Amino acid sequence: MKMQPLSPALGVEVTGVQLAALADAELQELKQAVFNNGVAVIRDQDFSPEQHIAFAKRWGGIDVNLFFPSNSQWPEIAEVRKAEEQKTNIGGGWHTDHSYDQIPAMGSILVARELPPVGGDTLFSSMAAAHDALSDGLRQTLSGMRAVHTSDHIYRPDGYYAQTDMAADLKGHEVSTRAVHPVIIRHPVTGQKLLYVNAAFTTHFEGWTREESLPLLSYLYQLGSREEFQCRVQWRPGSVTIWDNRLTWHLAQNDYHGHRRVMHRITLTGEPIGA
Ligand code: SIN
């Protein structure tokens, strides 16, 4: 297995393996690479939906997404898709999958199924780099704080997507979520300190109003999206990307109007997170 960095901040490109036939030792190496680097893009895969599901189970459990359209044949697979005529995409703002859950997903495995001729890249940002860029004073303040995460303003009938041309594709409008997590967490495997708020799902700090929270959250969102903390995955047929949700944010670029893009995503069960 060969690994090349995707950027100075995070991510590796992996070649020389087939995920569908990975030996246990190779899987351990790949897991460690994801925990340390946040993102691994694996090229040139021959990876059926059944193999995708079987591979995901080797990481632990699967957290089925309650809002995205499920693949009609394989309910464990959420489809992240945008049709030629749609203008809105799924995941077009910086976010961490499922941070609104009590035990947020460990990560995701995303497989390219139909790609536009150009564009539709996915950007990732390192929350370790964002944490390390905080001043000592702000880091100390944030270390004692917790924040509220919810998906209600995104997926409920009066939420963001209901106003868009993606409304009919999404489901779970009746589902309400809420979780409170420390603003700075420790990575459950590596022990690395990470900033754990995100622009899509974190609404306010615990014990603060939204109005009071917004200026500081906006600062953290700006900090976390600095270009030098990012890497870019340019998809090709046969590409599979695995990311660690604790260590990263991601954003799906919406720059391919008039073309179809279909990705298969499986979200991996996580473990309790703490400061
Ligand atoms: C997502 O999981 O947010 C989607 C990422 C992508 O479609 O590139």
Spatial distance between the Cα atoms of 201 and 149, rounded to a whole number of angstroms: 5
Backbone angles phi, psi at 183, to 5 degrees: -75, -30
Q: Residue 12 has what DSSP assignment?
A: E
Q: Which amino acid is at 26?
A: E
Alpha carbon 39 to chain centroid, angstroms: 10
Question: What length does the chain have?
Answer: 275
| CA-closest residue to ligand 1 atom 3 | 91
Ligand 1 centroid distance, CA of 40 (Å): 14
Select which of 52, 81, 95, 149 is catalytic: 95
Ligand 1 centroid distance, CA of 253 (Å): 9
Ligand 1 centroid distance, CA of 154 (Å): 15
- Domains (range + CATH), the chain: 2-268 (3.60.130.10)
Residue 103: which residues within 8 A CB-CB, separation 6 or more? 269, 270, 271, 272, 273
Determine the pLDDT at residue 222.
Answer: 98
Determine the pLDDT at residue 273.
Answer: 94
Is 265 known to be catalytic?
A: yes
Is 95 known to be catalytic?
A: yes
| Spatial contact of 115 and 261, defined as CB atoms under 8 Å apart | yes
Distance spanning both ends of the chain, measured CA to CA: 34
- Tell me: the pLDDT tens digits for 48-82? 999 999 999 999 999 998 998 888 899 999 999 99
| Global model pTM greater than 0.85 | yes
- Tell me: the pLDDT tens digits for 143-154? 999 999 999 999
Q: Which amino acid is at 12?
A: V
- Tell me: the pLDDT tens digits for 75-120? 999 999 999 999 999 999 999 999 999 999 999 999 999 999 999 9
Spatial distance between the Cα atoms of 3 and 128, rounded to a whole number of angstroms: 20
